[in-house]
C-alpha cells in the first residue's frame, strides 16, 4: 500500500509539472506573436525616398501627353533643321559630281554653255529626293521619324518653286500656299497625325518668312 501511494504521488507531481511547462510555452508563443505582429517597420531613409522620386519623375513626365507633344514638336524642328542642312549639302556634292563627270568628256563650262543643264541637274536631285521619300513614307517607321524627314521633301519643293519663279514672287507664293493648303486638306481627309500638319506649317512659314526677309538659298 505504501509503495502504491508513493507511485501515485509521483505521477501526480510529474503531470502537474508537465502542465505548467505547456502553459508557460503557450504564453510565450502568444506574447511573441503579438510582439512580432505589432513590430513597426523602420522608416525609409530620406535620401532613398528622394532618389526614388527623382528616378520616377522623368518616366511620369514622358507619359504626360502635353509634355510628349512638346518634345515631339521640338524634335521635328531640331531634327528637320539638321536634315535640311545635310540635304542641301548633298545637293551641292551631287551636282558637283555630275559636273565632274561631264567635264571628263567636254572641256567647256557647260553651266554657261547649256542653259538647260542647271535645271536638269536640279530635276535629277529632286527625283532622287522623291524616290527616297517614297521609300521612307512606305516604311514602318514611327510617325515622329516620318514627320522629321518630311521637312526634306517639303523644303525641296518650296525651294524649287522659288528657284524657277524667282522673277515672279507672287506666283511663287501662290503656288507655295496652294501646295500647303492642299497637303493640309489631304491630311485632314486621310486622318493623318497632328505632327504632319505641324511639319507642313512649320516648313512653309519658315521659308516664307526667310524669303520675305530677303534671304536666298
pLDDT digits (tens, 9 = 90+) for 76-104: 999 999 999 999 999 999 999 998 888 88
- Predicted pLDDT of residue 54: 47
Contacts of 200 (CB under 8 A, 6+ apart): 150, 154, 180, 183, 184, 187
- Predicted pLDDT of residue 37: 47
**Number of domains making up the chain:** 2
| Residue 105 belongs to a domain | yes
- Same domain flag for 8 and 85: no
Report how far apart, in Å, the C-alpha atoms of 188 and of each of 2, 184, 199 are: 114, 6, 14
- pTM strictly above 0.85: no
Kindly list the averaged pLDDT for each block of 10 residues, start to end, along the chain of length 217: 47 52 49 49 52 52 81 94 94 91 80 82 94 94 95 95 89 94 95 95 93 75
pLDDT digits (tens, 9 = 90+) for 139-159: 999 999 999 999 999 999 999
Residue 199: name the closest of 157, 140, 164, 138 by CA: 157
Residue 157: name the closest of 69, 81, 66, 87 by CA: 87
| Residue 77 belongs to a domain | yes
- Predicted pLDDT of residue 191: 93
**DSSP string for residues in 163-200:** HHTTT-HHHHHHHHHHHHHHHHHHHHHHT--HHHHHHH
- Same domain flag for 21 and 91: no
- Predicted pLDDT of residue 55: 54
- Predicted pLDDT of residue 150: 96
Residue 6 grid coordinates: 508513493
- Same domain flag for 31 and 69: no
Residue-number span of the structural domain to which 28 is assigned: 1-35
Amino acid at each position: 500500500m505504501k509503495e502504491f501511494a508513493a507511485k501515485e504521488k509521483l505521477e501526480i507531481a510529474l503531470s502537474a509539472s508537465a502542465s505548467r511547462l505547456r502553459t508557460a510555452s503557450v504564453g510565450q508563443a502568444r506574447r511573441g506573436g503579438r510582439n512580432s505582429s505589432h513590430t513597426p517597420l523602420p522608416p525609409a531613409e530620406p535620401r532613398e525616398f528622394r532618389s526614388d522620386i527623382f528616378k520616377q519623375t522623368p518616366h511620369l513626365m514622358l507619359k504626360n501627353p502635353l509634355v510628349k507633344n512638346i518634345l515631339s514638336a521640338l524634335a521635328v524642328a531640331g531634327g528637320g533643321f539638321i536634315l535640311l542642312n545635310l540635304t542641301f549639302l548633298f545637293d551641292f556634292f551631287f551636282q558637283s559630281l555630275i559636273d565632274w563627270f561631264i567635264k571628263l568628256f567636254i572641256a567647256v563650262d557647260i553651266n554657261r554653255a547649256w542653259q538647260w543643264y542647271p535645271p536638269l541637274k536640279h530635276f535629277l536631285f529632286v527625283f532622287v529626293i522623291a524616290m527616297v521619300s517614297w521609300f521612307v513614307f512606305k516604311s514602318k517607321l514611327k510617325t515622329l521619324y516620318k514627320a522629321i524627314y518630311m521637312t526634306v521633301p517639303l523644303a525641296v519643293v518650296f525651294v524649287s518653286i522659288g528657284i524657277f519663279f524667282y522673277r515672279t514672287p507672287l506666283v511663287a507664293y501662290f503656288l507655295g500656299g496652294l501646295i500647303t493648303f492642299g497637303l493640309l486638306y489631304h491630311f485632314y481627309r486621310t486622318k493623318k497625325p497632328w505632327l504632319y500638319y505641324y511639319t507642313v506649317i512649320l516648313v512653309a512659314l519658315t521659308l516664307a518668312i526667310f524669303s520675305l526677309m530677303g534671304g536666298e538659298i
